[in-house]
Amino acid sequence: MIQRKSKDMSRNRQGNTRHSTLHLAYSFSCNLACGHCIFRCGPDVRGTMGIGRARAFIDQAGRAGIRRIVFTGGEPFLHPRALRTLIEHASGVGIESALITNAAWATSRSRTKGYLAHLQSIGLRSMTVSTDRYHLLFVPLERVRGALRAAMELGLDGGVKISRLAHDPVAEGLCRSLRSKAARVFVQEIVPLGRAASLRAAQRLRPATSFTGAGGLAPPILLPSGDLLSCCNLPARDVRSTDYPFVLGNLEKTSLRTLLARRVRDPLLTTLRTRGPGVLFALLAQREPAFRRWGRSLYQSGCDLCFNLFCKPLDKRMLYDTLDRLNRHDRFIPGEFS
């Protein structure tokens, strides 16, 4: 079955404010430099969270009620000692672990299965392999199949995430090829942000008016710096340039529990989580004529619209006043832009 939304995303789209999943990027270093990476990961990226700091952050996650940590990046398997230590530590505080990988390390059947079996024994419960036309330039498809095969044999929840262009026969072929080898096949259109900004012309862009349906924020992501971003689909290395501070705070200065509560209370993030950026934009367009002119620009997805919206100069007082009335009275019905 091809899934186009993760379970966590589906819960968020229904407006559930309970936080159960946290993405943790131990490092943005990667053995690949894929052309569609919104985080601009690659071999030239240095620096890690550090095992000691990461353990302390996981302790905070346990106290905040997090029940699942997704180790991402970057490529988690570039830091095998840290990955083993942190999975085991998370298990010790009652948190199950998942990870996202490119499977470049899956060079032989025995090595792949042995490594995954060990991680499973200390708390790993799920693995998602990323592959697409860009990953395949570096990682042979056989390694992807090998990693998924090992996960299936071990009883791990194994999935595959395929990023696609608007017209992408490679992605369609991967879906057919891997459907029987993964419990989950998640297809996601490439968001033209970060390094993928150069791919904007290759996407079939839609007007912002098409994003007036239900909203949704992906789970928050903890960066190597200790900063917590409100959504793991944001281009982490660019997000500070936006007008609204999507950085909720730093875990070395403020507790994760407090930052997650801030994420729930903030009227802007509440609107994005429950209604989506299209509704937010339509609301602003009704209040400010300038937004109507900007609204004729085309954006590939809600993530694309959301990020670009907050790259624009905004009157924050007007924004929050409008959002407060919307969320208190629930009277706004989005329509087409004039």
* 128-139 pLDDT tens trace: 999 999 999 999
**Does the pLDDT at position 314 exceed 80?**
no
* pLDDT mean over 177-195: 90
Q: Is 197 in contact with 237 (CB distance < 8 Å)?
A: no
**Inside any domain, residue 167:** yes
Q: What is the three-class DSSP state of 157?
A: strand
Residue 284 is classified by DSSP as: H
329 or 168: whose pLDDT is higher? 168
pLDDT of the residue at 137: 97
> What angle is formed at CA 74 by the lines to CA 69 and CA 76, rounded to 5 degrees?
55
Q: What is the three-class DSSP state of 312?
A: coil
**Does the pLDDT at position 160 exceed 70?**
yes
CA–CA separation, 264 and 190 (whole Å): 27
Over residues 285-311, the pLDDT tens digits come to 776 666 666 554 567 777 887 887 777
> What angle is formed at CA 55 by the lines to CA 154 and CA 128, rounded to 5 degrees?
30
Over residues 201-237, the pLDDT tens digits come to 877 665 544 554 455 688 999 999 999 999 888 888 8
**Inside any domain, residue 137:** yes
**Inside any domain, residue 184:** yes
* Percentage of the chain exceeding pLDDT 70: 82
Q: 232 to each of 22, 156, 239, 298, how far by Cα in Å?
A: 9, 23, 11, 23
Global pTM value? 0.87
Find tokens 């059947």 and name the residue.
109
Among residues 252, 173, 241, 163, the alpha carbon closest in space to that of 199 is found at 163
**Does the pLDDT at position 334 exceed 90?**
no
Q: 314 to each of 274, 309, 318, how far by Cα in Å?
A: 21, 9, 8
With b meaning 16 or more CB within 10 Å and e meaning fewer, what string describes 198-233? ebbeebebeebbebbeebbbbbbbbbbebbbbbbbb
* Percentage of the chain exceeding pLDDT 90: 56
Residue 245 dihedral angles phi and psi, to the nearest 5°: -75, 90
What pLDDT band is residue 245 in, cutting at 50, 70 and 90?
confident
**Inside any domain, residue 300:** no
Looking at the 3D structure of the chain, how many domains does it have?
A: 1
**Does the pLDDT at position 14 exceed 50?**
no
Over residues 37-66, the pLDDT tens digits come to 999 999 999 999 999 999 999 999 999 999
216 or 71: whose pLDDT is higher? 71
Domain containing 10 equals 2-267
CATH number, domain of 94, equals 3.20.20.70
**Inside any domain, residue 336:** no
CA–CA separation, 1 and 236 (whole Å): 30
**Does the pLDDT at position 280 exceed 80?**
no
Sequence-distant (≥ 6) Cβ neighbours of residue 10 within 8 angstroms: 216
**Inside any domain, residue 111:** yes
Q: Is 40 in contact with 67 (CB distance < 8 Å)?
A: no
Q: What is the three-class DSSP state of 123?
A: coil
**Inside any domain, residue 319:** no
Q: 223 to each of 124, 238, 322, how far by Cα in Å?
A: 21, 13, 31
What pLDDT band is residue 242 in, cutting at 50, 70 and 90?
confident
**Inside any domain, residue 196:** yes
- Which two three-digit tokens encode residue 150? 């090992």
